[in-house]
Structure 1
Amino acid sequence: MLFTKASEYALLSLIYISQQNDPVDVDSISNELEISKSFLAKILQSLAKDKILNSFKGANGGFSLSQNALDVSIKRIIECVEKKPMSVFECSTSKNDCTKAATCQVWNMFNTLQFKIDDMLDNISLKDIVTK
């Protein structure tokens, strides 16, 4: 499992947005965090589509959290921007995804690791990383 720049930028953006009192526009976030505006806009739109962010159009538009930061897990954020479930190994969530399941000697270890990582990231909220 590799966190991509999209995951990193999503987390940094959400931290920044959560610390603002008013909606924040893409230009401001892009400048503050030194992130490509076009790449950031795609990330923020994904977060808005999945209702992690509210999106406001117009002169005073921008983005704000759509819910309490305590209610948004890191796992949900990462899966939103990566557009797929987190996976330690390609078949770590299901033996059905593995063509070598009958003889695989490492699947149980990867599956156990997957459950631990899922549990950990499900239990870390955006608020947890904002307040640290």
Structure 2
Amino acid sequence: MFSKSCNYAIKAAIFIAKHSLEENKVGFVDIAKEIDSPQAFTAKILQILVKSGIIDSVKGVNGGFYIPKKNIATTYLVEIVDAIDGDAVFHGCGLGLSQCSETHPCPVHDKFKSIRDELAHMLETTNLEELALGIKSGETFLKSL
């Protein structure tokens, strides 16, 4: 449903949020390692997230990526998806047709529309704080075993 870039961006943002809750910054090498992403690819994704205002960065010895603690609970997954993939996931056809609509539906239009609406709701109501706390507590994980 999401591009590979978007999957990595979501995982990176959650990982950064987890460290930011503890008021720590994290370097892109550690982020790439944690989310199993090539370093150069991770760097590009992080640049987009910084440019979008989702994460911040500081250069230098004590630098790294972080999310201001006050922003972690108010940053929702929809912002990350929009920054990386745009809004196509909210409006696109389930079969990838360019002319699919309510008046000219594809064969899966009605069923896909309800799934797309549920996905939009989940992305709009899920913030980085709840996901980071799940990682921190050990209830959830970012990396496969």
**What TM-score do the two structures reach when normalised by structure 1?**
0.76
What is the aligned partner in structure 2 of residue 61 from structure 1?
63
Structure-1 separation of matches of 2:100 and 2:37? 40
| Shift, 1:120, TM fit | 2.0
Change (3 A) 1:113 1:30: closer
Identity of aligned residues (%): 26
Structure-2 separation of matches of 1:99 and 1:33? 35
Which range moved further: 5-14 or 110-119?
110-119
Mapped pair 1:17 → 2:26: no
Aligned partner of residue 55 in structure 1, secondary structure = strand
Deviations 1:47-94 (A, max 9, x none): 111111011122322110145221111121122122x114266358xx
How many residues are matched?
126
Is residue 77–residue 123 contact of structure 2 (8 Å, CA) maintained in 1?
A: yes
Structure-1 separation of matches of 2:26 and 2:56? 10
**What TM-score do the two structures reach when normalised by structure 2?**
0.70
Structure-2 separation of matches of 1:33 and 1:102? 42
Q: What is the Cα-based RMSD across aligned positions, in Å?
A: 2.6
| Structure 1: tracts of 5 or more residues without a match | none
Match of 1:41 among 40, 43, 61: 43
Structure-2 separation of matches of 1:99 and 1:12? 31
